[in-house]
Structure 1
Amino acid sequence: MTTVLITGASAGLGAAFARGFAAKGCDLILVARDTGRLKAVADELAAAHGTLPEVLPADLLDPEQCRAVAERLADPARPVDILVNNAGFGLPAPFPYSPVEDEERMLDLLVKVPLKLTHAVVPGLRERRRGAVLNVSSVAGLLPTGTYGAAKAWTTAFSESLRVDLAPYGVRVLAVVPGFTRTEFQERAGMDVSALPDSVWLDADAVVARALKDLSLRRPLSITGLRYRLYAQAVRHLPRTFVARKMARDRRPPAQAPEQAQNAARPEAAR
């Protein structure tokens, strides 16, 4: 039986990954901060698929709790076959307007945590010569979009490099690169996305279905939707200075003093 550990599994893409892997008959380990919501997801999956997932509540920004998850991943007596690094949050204001402590927390969760968890699971995968790591990135990583985009660019590059390193051992690595997806991520981050047309939005289950298909095909990246695949191709050919200026204009808080924007930038938006 394949065992899958998913971070940020209480909602959004994490819960969608849980549904997708449960439908394939996998055993699940669900990780998130909110114990009540995590148990609710586990109960729903048990009712739908007949297997109760293991619930592992953890705030991954707490070193001790993150270490506990890493130890679970490295436990040879209870091997984990697939790791899904999905936990994350965003900030409502651009870098110059956000408290540096919030920027550091976001960078830790988007970069340092998946680095640690991947490092914990890889030795077992390599020894068993099978398994996979899925890292949830973002199309924001294709553009110069502040700390969040920079972190997601790291996620994609890290995944592509790791994929080459682990290929001789039969271990697959996939960077999942979604666009705007209908989850509570934007609302919890305090982002105003009301002006976005319906055509840009993706369904979380569709993103996961595409990712699982791309994983089975051993592709390096998974991008859902023709719009976003074309977008990914186009941005590679645009002048970086032009793109950076355009993104900076889009991100600037209108008619808002830096002090006001800082007060608004309190993140509690873990996926």
Structure 2
Amino acid sequence: MDRRLALVTGASAGIGAAFARILARHGYDLALTARRGDRLEALAEEIRLRSGVETLTIAADLADPDATDQLLEHLAAHGRTVDALVNNAGYGLPGAYADTRWEDQQAFLQVMLHAPCELAHKLLPGMVERRFGRIVNVASLAGLVPGSAGHTLYGATKSFLVKFSQSLHLEAEAHGVHVTALCPGFTYSEFHDVNATRAQISAATPPWLWLGADEVAAAGYEAVEANRTVCVPGAPNKAIAAVAKLIPDDWALALMASQGPRFRKV
């Protein structure tokens, strides 16, 4: 195929769907994956009609350790290689750590850490060989500020993705591969509906702290094209990230202890 292919995980809604539309407008064919096959097919048909690119859909649950290999085998069977990867799939797991089931935390880590790292590891050699690649790891502003009680592994996994992206950026940039950690703050999507925190967070946050999924994805696309290592969309989020670097750790942790319950279920 003449066109490059982008693989987007968690593509059925929100930031993932917005990324898919942007990539298609820039001429990429798409491989879209998420758990909801009907939503993927609807998005794929919309993009095919609007942009005229090829769209492949693979319904998969990245909590399954075999899912990444199955995705790549599916693409290989269609004769396609991946030139751009958007590791977007993710969710929140509310509650205090001791009150959750380990099986749920294990699945969370599989989706949020193992799958993005495995996909990047298996796709990067081909990108290096072709001297072209784009990798966007959708992290979060939560990965740039101190941890808070509740959703215990969420900020930790997002902080990992930031550091992982920085290291991968340094290793890959000489080979034509751009790597970016995208760190959005509050974003209008289904994220807070899925973990039933929409009402709590909406009541605790002003509208100016929120961005649309299209804005976030556009910022991420521009950042990876410009080969910027970390992208924090929105002026308020940039200010929060900057302040978090400047204030002493004990002050920052005390602030999270006092304000965290407004945003997290414990």
Q: TM-score of the superposition, structure 2-length normalised?
A: 0.90
Q: Which of 15, 18, 22 pairs up with 1:16?
A: 18
Q: Give the alignment of 1:11-160 within 5 angstroms.
A: 11-72=13-74, 77-143=79-145, 144-145=147-148, 146-160=152-166
Match status 1:247 vs 2:256: yes
TM-superposed CA distance for 1:86, in Å, is: 0.4
Cα pair 2:63 2:108 within 8 Å, conserved: no
Q: Cα–Cα, structure 1 residues 127 and 177, in superposed 2: closer, same or farther, change >3 Å?
A: same
C-alpha distance in 2 between matches for 1:25 and 1:113: 26
Q: Alpha-carbon deviations, 1:28-86, whole Å to 9, x = none?
A: 00011111111111111112212341111111111222221244567894211001000
Larger mean Cα displacement after TM superposition, 142-151 or 30-39: 142-151
Aligned residues: CA RMSD: 2.1
Larger mean Cα displacement after TM superposition, 61-70 or 120-129: 61-70
Q: Cα–Cα, structure 1 residues 161 and 67, in superposed 2: closer, same or farther, change >3 Å?
A: same
Q: Cα–Cα, structure 1 residues 114 and 73, in superposed 2: closer, same or farther, change >3 Å?
A: farther
Q: Alpha-carbon deviations, 1:183-221, whole Å to 9, x = none?
A: 010110111212111111001111111111112211111
C-alpha distance in 1 between matches for 2:178 and 2:73: 21
Structure with higher RCO (Cα < 8 A, 6+ apart): 1
Aligned partner letter, 1:56: I
Match status 1:176 vs 2:182: yes
Larger mean Cα displacement after TM superposition, 132-141 or 59-68: 59-68
C-alpha distance in 1 between matches for 2:262 and 2:131: 49
Larger mean Cα displacement after TM superposition, 111-120 or 188-197: 188-197
Cα pair 1:27 1:53 within 8 Å, conserved: yes
Stretches (4+) displaced over 3 A: 70-77, 248-254
Match status 1:186 vs 2:192: yes
Cα pair 1:73 1:117 within 8 Å, conserved: no
Q: Give the alignment of 1:228-243 within 5 angstroms.
A: 228-243=237-252
C-alpha distance in 2 between matches for 1:244 and 1:73: 45
TM-superposed CA distance for 1:103, in Å, is: 2.2
Could you say which residue in structure 2 is the equivalent of 1:267?
A: none
Match status 1:210 vs 2:212: no
Q: TM-score of the superposition, structure 1-length normalised?
A: 0.88
C-alpha distance in 2 between matches for 1:226 and 1:124: 36
Cα pair 1:182 1:201 within 8 Å, conserved: yes
Aligned partner letter, 2:212: D
Q: Cα–Cα, structure 1 residues 127 and 74, in superposed 2: closer, same or farther, change >3 Å?
A: farther
For 1:132, what is the secondary structure of its paired residue? Answer: strand
State, as a whole percentage, how many aligned pairs show the same letter.
38
For 2:57, what is the secondary structure of its paired residue? Answer: strand
C-alpha distance in 1 between matches for 2:53 and 2:177: 26
Paired positions, count:
256
Cα pair 2:135 2:224 within 8 Å, conserved: no
Q: Which stretches in structure 2 are left out of the alignment for 5+ residues?
A: none
For 1:236, what is the secondary structure of its paired residue? Answer: helix
C-alpha distance in 1 between matches for 2:249 and 2:153: 16
Q: Which stretches in structure 1 are left out of the alignment for 5+ residues?
A: 262-271
TM-superposed CA distance for 1:244, in Å, is: 2.3
